[in-house]
C-alpha cells in the first residue's frame, strides 16, 4: 500500500463538488451487497469511514436521499445533483463518522481494501485476497476492520 498523504482531496466527476479530508481513515473495505453492486454498477462498492469532523465539504449543496441498507440500517446518501456521483454515505448507526466513497479521491493509488462484507451475495468469480477480514453479511462491529487497517498503515 502506498503511503496516505494528508490532507486528502476529492470530488465528483463533473468537478462541481470538492471535499477535503484532514484525518486518516478508520478503515477501507469493499461491500458486496446487492445495493452496493447496483450503486457502483460493478461487483462491489468501497467505503472509507473517516471522522465526520475531518471532512470539509459544502454538504448543503449536495443531493441527499435516505435508504434502508441490506443490514436494515438507515443510510443517508450524498451525491452531486449534476453528474450523479455518489460521494458519501452517512450511517445512522454512528453520526461521528462519514463513509467516503474512495473512488472519488484525487489520489486512489493507495486504495487497498482490508476487508470484504456481504460475501454471501458476492459475484461467483470473486475470491477475496489473502489477509483480508471477511464477513458473509454485515459485521456486528467494525473493530477487526479498524485493527487490520491500522496495522497496514502503521
One-letter-per-residue 3-state SS of 52-69:
HHHEECCHHHCEEEEEEC
pTM reported for the whole predicted model: 0.92
* CA 1 from centre of chain: 17
The pLDDT mean for the chain works out to 94
What backbone torsions phi and psi does residue 69 show, to the nearest 5 degrees? -75, 170
What pLDDT does 1 receive?
A: 62
Q: Which three cell numbers stand for residue 3?
A: 503511503
**44-54 confidence digits (pLDDT tens):** 999 999 999 99
Q: What is the per-residue pLDDT across 83-125, written as a single tens digit (0 to 9) for each?
A: 999 999 998 888 999 999 999 999 999 999 999 999 999 999 9
Domain boundaries, the chain: 25-153
Please report the pLDDT score of residue 72 as a whole number. 79
Which CATH architecture best describes the domain 25-153? Answer: Alpha-Beta Complex (3.90)
Give the separation between CA 54 and CA 99, rounded to whole angstroms. 12
CA angle 47, 52, 55 (to 5 degrees): 85
Taking the C-alpha atoms of residue 13 and residue 135, their distance in angstroms, rounded to an integer, is: 31
Element (H, E) at 140: none
Q: How high is the pLDDT of residue 18?
A: 98
Strand, coil or helix: 148 = helix
pLDDT of residue 2 exceeding 80, the answer is no
Q: Write the pLDDT tens digit of every residue in 131-141.
A: 999 999 999 99
What local confidence, expressed as pLDDT, does residue 74 receive? Answer: 87
**Per-residue pLDDT for 67 more than 90?**
no
Amino acid at each position: 500500500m502506498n503511503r496516505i498523504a494528508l490532507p486528502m482531496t476529492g470530488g465528483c466527476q463533473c468537478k462541481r463538488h470538492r471535499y477535503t479530508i484532514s484525518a486518516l481513515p478508520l478503515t477501507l473495505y469493499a461491500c458486496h451487497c446487492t445495493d452496493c453492486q447496483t450503486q457502483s454498477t460493478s461487483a462491489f462498492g468501497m467505503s472509507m469511514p473517516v471522522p465526520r469532523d475531518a471532512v470539509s465539504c459544502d454538504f448543503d449543496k449536495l443531493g441527499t436521499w435516505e435508504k434502508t441498507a441490506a443490514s436494515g440500517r438507515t443510510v443517508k446518501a450524498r451525491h452531486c445533483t449534476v453528474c450523479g456521483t455518489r460521494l458519501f454515505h452517512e450511517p445512522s448507526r454512528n453520526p461521528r463518522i462519514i463513509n467516503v466513497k474512495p473512488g472519488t479521491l484525487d489520489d486512489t493509488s493507495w486504495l487497498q481494501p482490508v476487508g470484504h462484507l456481504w460475501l454471501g451475495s458476492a459475484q461467483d468469480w470473486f475470491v477475496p485476497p489473502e489477509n483480508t477480514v471477511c464477513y458473509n453479511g454485515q459485521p456486528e462491529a467494525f473493530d477487526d476492520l479498524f485493527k487490520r487497517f491500522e496495522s497496514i498503515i502503521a
